[in-house]
Amino acid sequence: MSARATAPIPAAARLLLIDDDTDLLRLLSMRLKANGYRVSTACSIASAHARLAMETFDLVLSDVRLPDGDGLTLFEDIRRHHPALPVIMITAHGSIPDAVDATTRGVADYLTKPFDGQALLDRIAKALGNASSTSIAEGDRADWCKAIISRSSRMRALLAEARLVAASDASVLILGESGTGKELLARAIHNASARAQGPFVAINCGAIPDQLLESELFGHVRGAFTGATSTHAGLIQAADGGTLFLDEIGDMPPALQIKLLRVLQERAVRPVGSTQASPVNLRILSATHRNLEDALGNGQFREDLYYRINVVSLDLPPLAERREDIPLLAEHFLRTLARRYGKDVNGFAADALETLAISQWPGNVRQLHNVVEQVCALSTTPLVPRSLVERALRAQPIEALSYAEAKQRFERNYLIQLLKLTAGNVTDAARLADRNRTEFYRLLQRHGLSPEPFRAENQPDEEQTRSPSRRPA
């Protein structure tokens, strides 16, 4: 008699078992471990959430009835935060209708108590097989997105989507808070695309002054403006045959938005001062931490350009929503920095790693890197202690700003100080800033500022302060 064939078991798959019956948990754990699985257990929704926050899993097996709530509610939470993580529900006979309904909402499968041990193994192997068919193969991942350090199911789902979109030439808009790794994702899409052998050119639109950004992007010919002593090929031309990544595109001035739109429509670029346009073959990837839909409403971003760059959008989750990645990232950063600094530091103490995992990260991965760099520089022991981590966290600013964000904040505060100093007189403020009035007004508009609130009640307007010979009779 031949043995019944079962689906192949993914190597060392990690399972989370959730049930308030400790005897059943022990029995299931023994059976599943004997079949090659790595198993963690939880006896309540609260303990399940704690496990999910600290570890990454390939499948969840949960009872419907739990002491502190409904297992179906837990499933909805898992689907919201770990959309690619399959869940199998265990149910008693009386709740079969609920389980059937759950499958229509996305539950991978359900088992009815009492269940056969082989049936359990078959259902788990099937659910894992279905999940792996839509996830990223590790060998493939090493080739195109090895720079992205993650084990979270949410990031796995995002990268699977990125891998699919990379196969096309569609423009992609990457959304996410500052410090989440938008450029890394853009590079990964480029690496997975047919343009991988071409150049990847990145520019931060918010970090370059307006008057220089046009030349940097579009290039210029000799004599186009004062100081243009030679012809300069812009970054659009440099990206020909590859990918151009426009970081913080929400900060691009409206005049340049028009020129960029023309490049996308005509697939040609005309350098500043030139009458000739040169054809270009490139893909545009963009990123922003801003809400561009709000920018559309107040006229700061062109609607036609928005739909050109936003054929597909990918939303990078903040670090606080992928906490299972924090220990992995921290250990990776520590190893890299220890080699750079020549330090004999090889890990974190358990309580130090726990402190990192439960901390808030407003600056996301960039802030985590800063914290790890500080503890690495100051550590005198092979294991980084909790006290050093807490010290580094206290030393972090409330906000971890990117260069573009810091520049924007400084510029706005600078304009406010000038308006206060001149009592809202734009002519005087522009003179102090060494800018003409038109450019100064443009800066005020960009930052949502008006001179009126800064003017004293009896302050004469600018027309009244001009020479008497210029006043109308």
pLDDT digits (tens, 9 = 90+) for 172-189: 999 999 999 999 999 999
Has residue 377 got a pLDDT over 70?
yes
Distance CA 161, CA 155 (A): 10
Strand partners, 65: 70
State the pairing for strand pair 65-66/59-63: unpaired
Distance CA 177, CA 364 (A): 8
Q: Confidence class of residue 102 from pLDDT cuts 50, 70 and 90?
A: low
Has residue 438 got a pLDDT over 90?
no
Q: Confidence class of residue 407 from pLDDT cuts 50, 70 and 90?
A: confident
Exposed, middle or buried by CB within 10 Å (0-12, 13-18, 19+), for 14? middle
What's the pLDDT score for residue 8?
43
What's the pLDDT score for residue 248?
93
Q: Confidence class of residue 164 from pLDDT cuts 50, 70 and 90?
A: confident
Structure-token pair, residue 236: 């659009």
The number of residues in the chain equals 473
Contact between 391 and 355 (Cβ < 8 Å): no
48-90 pLDDT, tens digit each? 888 887 777 889 999 888 888 888 888 888 877 776 788 888 8
The residue ranges of DSSP E strands in 4-132, in sequence order, are 14-18, 38-42, 59-63, 65-66, 69-70, 87-91, 109-112
Contact between 204 and 248 (Cβ < 8 Å): yes
Least confident of 323-332, 372-381, 391-400: 391-400
Domains of the chain in sequence order:
14-133 (3.40.50.2300), 150-223+231-315 (3.40.50.300), 319-395 (1.10.8.60), 403-470 (no CATH)
28-58 pLDDT, tens digit each? 888 888 888 889 999 998 888 888 877 778 8
More confident residue, 398 or 300: 300
Has residue 467 got a pLDDT over 60?
no
253-277 pLDDT, tens digit each? 988 999 999 999 999 999 888 888 8
Helical H runs in 342-385? 350-358, 364-378
What's the pLDDT score for residue 462?
45
Distance CA 408, CA 130 (A): 47
Contact between 399 and 362 (Cβ < 8 Å): yes
Q: Which of 314, 318, 317, 295 is nearest to 306 (CA)?
A: 295
Strand partners, 173: 286, 313
Structure-token pair, residue 450: 């008006």
What's the pLDDT score for residue 247?
94
409-437 pLDDT, tens digit each? 778 878 888 888 888 888 888 888 888 88
Percent of the chain whose predicted confidence (pLDDT) is above 90: 34
Distance CA 256, CA 216 (A): 11
Has residue 466 got a pLDDT over 50?
no
Residue found by looking up tokens 């009835």 in the block: 65
**Average pLDDT over all residues of the chain:** 82
What's the pLDDT score for residue 100?
55
What's the pLDDT score for residue 131?
58
What's the pLDDT score for residue 7?
41
What's the pLDDT score for residue 401?
58
What's the pLDDT score for residue 210?
76
Contact between 64 and 37 (Cβ < 8 Å): no
What's the pLDDT score for residue 49?
85
Q: Which 8-state DSSP code applies to residue 251?
A: G
Q: Confidence class of residue 442 from pLDDT cuts 50, 70 and 90?
A: confident
- Nearest 10 degrees: Cα torsion 331, 333, 335, 336: 160
What's the pLDDT score for residue 423?
84
- Classify 42 as helix, strand or coil: strand
393-425 as b/e: b if 16+ CB within 10 A: beebeeebbbebbebbeeebeebeebbeebebb
Q: Confidence class of residue 441 from pLDDT cuts 50, 70 and 90?
A: confident
